Amino acid sequence: MFGVLFEQTADGQRYIDWLLSGLGWTLALAFFGWWIAFGIGVVVGVGRTVQNRFISVPARLYVEIFRNVPVLVQMFLWYFVFPEVVPSALGDAIKQIPPPWASFFPALLCLGLYTASRIAEQVRAGIEALPRGQFEAANALGLNGYLTYRYVIVPQALRLIVPSLTSEVMGIYKNTSVALTIGLMELTAQARQISEATFQTFTAFGAATIIYLCLALVAYQAMTLIDKAVRIPGSAPVKPTTDEDLASEMRQGGALPATMEVVK
Amino acid sequence: MNTLDFSIVTQSWPYLWSGLLFSLALTAAAFVIGMVLGTCLALVQHFEIPVFAQIIRGYVAVIRSIPLILVLFWFFFLVPIVLGHLSGNGRPIPIGATYTAFITFGLFEAAYYSEIIRVGLRAVNKGQFEACQALALSTYDTYRHIVLPQVLRVASPIILSQTIILFQDTSLVYVLSLTDLLGAASKLAQLNGRLVEMYLVVAVAYLAISSAASQCVAVLRKRYALATSR
Q: Could you give the ipTM of this predicted complex?
A: 0.88
pTM, two decimal places: 0.87
B229 or B219, greater pLDDT: B219
User: Higher pLDDT residue, B122 or A5?
Assistant: B122
Supply the pLDDT for residue A253. 39
Which member of B168, B203, B221 has the closest CB to residue A77? Answer: B203
pLDDT reported for residue B55: 95
Domain ranges of chain A: 3-263
Contact A85 B161 (CB under 8 A): no
In a domain, B145, yes or no: yes
Distance CA B158, CA B164 (A): 10
Q: Do A73 and B210 touch (CB under 8 A)?
A: no
pLDDT digits over B128-174, tens only? 999 999 999 999 999 999 999 989 888 888 899 999 999 999 999 99
Query: What pLDDT, on a 0 to 100 scale, did the predictor assign at position B227?
Result: 65
> Residue B25 is part of a domain; what is its CATH number?
1.10.3720.10
Residues of chain A numbered 47-86 and touching chain B (CB < 8 Å): 64-65, 67-74, 76-77, 80-81, 84-86
Taking domain A3-263, whether its CATH number is 3.20.10.10 is answered by no
Any domain includes B8: no
Residue B55 belongs to what domain range?
15-229
Name residues of chain A where pLDDT drops below 70. Answer: 236-264
Nearest residue, CB atoms, A188 vs list B61, B62, B70: B70
* Residue B5 within any structural domain of the chain: no
Query: Residue B184 is which amino acid?
Result: A
* Mean pLDDT, chain B, integer: 89
End-to-end CA distance of chain A: 21
Whether B3 maps to a domain, the answer reads no
Q: Is residue B94 part of a domain?
A: yes
Averaged pLDDT, B213-221: 90
**Closest chain B residue to the Cα of A220, Cα to Cα:** B65
The domain total for chain B is: 1
Least confident residue range of A114-118, B81-85, B99-103:
B81-85
Instruction: Return the pLDDT at A239.
Output: 53
**Of chain A residues 210-239, which have a CB less than 8 A from chain B?**
212-213, 216
User: Which pLDDT belongs to residue B228?
Assistant: 61
Chosen for mutation from A250, A260, A264 (greatest number of chain B CBs closer than 10 Å) is: A250
Q: What is the pLDDT of residue A237?
A: 58
Is B4 inside any structural domain? no
Residue B15 reports pLDDT greater than 60: yes
pLDDT at B226: 64
